[in-house]
Amino acid sequence: MRSELPDYPWDAMAPYADRAAAHPRGAINLSVGSPVDPTPVSVREALAAATESHSYPATAGTAELREAIAEWYQRRRGVTVAPEAVLPTVGSKELVALLPMLLGLGPGEAVVFPRVAYPSYAMGAALVGADAVASDDPAEWPEHTKLVWLNSPGNPDGRVQGIEAMRTAVARARELGAVIVGDECYAEFGWDAPWREAPIPSLLDPRIVGDDHSDVLAIYSLSKQSNLAGYRAAFLAGDRALVARLLTVRKHAGLIVPGPVQRAMVAALADEAHVSEQRERYRARRDVLKPALEAAGFRIDGSEAGLYLWATRGVDAWQTIAELAEIGIVAGPGHFYGEYSPNHVRLALTANDADIAEAAARLRAISG
């Protein structure tokens, strides 16, 4: 029997959220990156037009969706994949947590992920009894590694992996006989040079893998770029044989993206205007919140891309969480992202303009 799973970490935030809610002007929740902006009209119309959906949807996705994903990879990521080498998923979190199981991993094998990381990577290992290894150095990856996660831009720290670093990671993973996966869900949001102008590279970029996608996958989500978190709309691409294997397992497990959502995904992938608009919303919010944090004594580390500011004042994160709660701001403690970030907090840009402005004003009021 598997060991008992840990408590859900966000439950520990309840007393701090309650304290923040007692603020005279109310709480501003910057702890969870849940979109607040409207879902694009084109996507909503596509969903509404597809509500006559009496048949079982295709686990592999419709031909239209697979072609839209492949075309998007070419247009936005500079990556060539065949429609048969892509697969829609029920959001990206289920894939992150279930991929070790879908690949048949178990005890005696290891899942590697970044030292500062979204906790679902470790949870995926725990669900199958595999070893969870937090390491950013390919030379340290153990011989029994069977799955490697890269996350670029990173959640929570917003760091971007360069071409050389990813090339080294792929070479090491192949040496170990491991599958390597790029979690790239924030790739449309680059802020600091060079990512303000240059596209953030995909793990499938030909500069990294050439035309050989063997044992390499990339995953992407429409939750953030298109405000589709409630739709649970994501996809993967890469090694055609791996995709076929995952498709078979997902058919057996009934992991299928609903038909209307598949139609909505096609509309989202075809509409670049709304992505540019959303990027500018987040850029403007970052331009308000980042200097306010710095004025309040925080140092911002990484955060050159993505939807979070990774901030520290050099004290334990729980102390910072408590102090922020006193001014009605809820953030995420670095402890939730592994043992290597005890002094950082994560603040999301996914709040409306008024809340971001209010949070900045409260921070500046305590800057002295």
Q: Among 129-133, 249-253, 364-368, which is the least confidently predicted range?
A: 364-368
- Give the pLDDT of residue 6: 64
Chain-centroid distance, C-alpha 10 = 17
Has residue 1 been placed in a domain?
no
- Does residue 1 carry a pLDDT above 50? no
Boundary (domain end) residue, out of 202, 236, 270: 270
- pLDDT for 3 equals 53
Residues 59 and 15 in one domain: no
Q: What is the pLDDT of residue 316?
A: 97
Residue 296 · residue 144 · CB < 8 Å: no
pLDDT computed for residue 100 by the predictor? 97
Could you read off the pLDDT of 13-34 as tens digits, one per residue? Answer: 899 999 999 999 999 999 988 9
Show the tokens assigned to 274: 């709304």
Same domain, 135 and 67: yes
User: Considering its fold, how many domains does the chain have in total?
Assistant: 2
Chain segment 145-183, per-residue pLDDT in tens: 999 999 999 999 999 999 999 999 999 999 999 999 999
The reply to whether 19 falls in a domain is yes
- For residue 4, is pLDDT > 80? no
In a shared domain, residues 63 and 47: yes
Query: Last residue of a domain, which of 237, 270, 303?
Result: 270
**Over residues 280-299, mean pLDDT:** 97
Residue type at 2?
R
* Mean pLDDT, range 87-109, rounded to an integer: 96
At which of 248, 270, 292 does a domain end? 270
For the segment 67-96, the average pLDDT, to the nearest whole number, is: 96
The answer, yes or no, to whether residue 368 has pLDDT greater than 90, is no
In a domain, 5, yes or no: no
What does the mean pLDDT of the chain come to? 95
Query: Mean pLDDT throughout 216-228?
Result: 97
Note whether 180 and 145 are within 8 A (CB). no
Whole-Å CA distances, 363 to 63, 122, 295, 323, 367: 50, 33, 8, 11, 6
Residue 309 pLDDT greater than 70, yes or no: yes
Residue 96 lies in a domain: yes
Mean local confidence (pLDDT), 199-206: 96
Do 282 and 316 fall within a single domain? yes
344 and 256 within one domain = no
- Measuring CA to CA, which residue among 25, 28, 34 is closest to residue 16? 28
In the three-class reduction of DSSP (H, G, I as helix; E, B as strand; rest coil), residue 332 is classed as strand
Statement to judge: residues 134 and 32 lie in one domain: no
Would you say residue 171 lies in a domain? yes
Range of the domain at 226: 42-270
Residue 2 is predicted with a pLDDT of 47
Classify residue 92 by its DSSP letter.
T
pLDDT in tens, 40-50: 999 999 999 99
- pLDDT at residue 5, as a whole number: 63
Q: b/e for 259-277, b at 16 or more Cβ within 10 A?
A: bbbbbbbbbbbebeebbee
Please check whether residues 173 and 247 belong to one and the same domain.
yes
Note whether 175 and 143 are within 8 A (CB). Answer: no
As a residue count, the chain comes to 368
pLDDT at 47: 94
Distance CA 84, CA 179 (A): 19
Q: Is residue 2 part of a domain?
A: no
Amino acid at 316: D
pLDDT at 10: 73
Residues 253, 327 within the same domain? no
Domain harbouring 50, CATH code: 3.40.640.10
Distance between CA 349 and CA 145 in Å, rounded?
Answer: 35
The average pLDDT across 267-294 equals 97
Residue 211: exposure state from Cβ atoms within 10 A (0-12, 13-18, ≥19)? exposed
Residues 84 and 181 in one domain: yes
**Residue 203 near residue 184, CB atoms below 8 Å:** yes
Q: What is the pLDDT of residue 32?
A: 87
Same domain membership, residue 244 and residue 282: no
Q: 103 and 162 share a domain?
A: yes
What CATH code is carried by the domain that includes residue 353? 3.90.1150.10
Tell me, what's the pLDDT at 241? 97
Record the pTM.
Answer: 0.94
Same domain, 252 and 146: yes
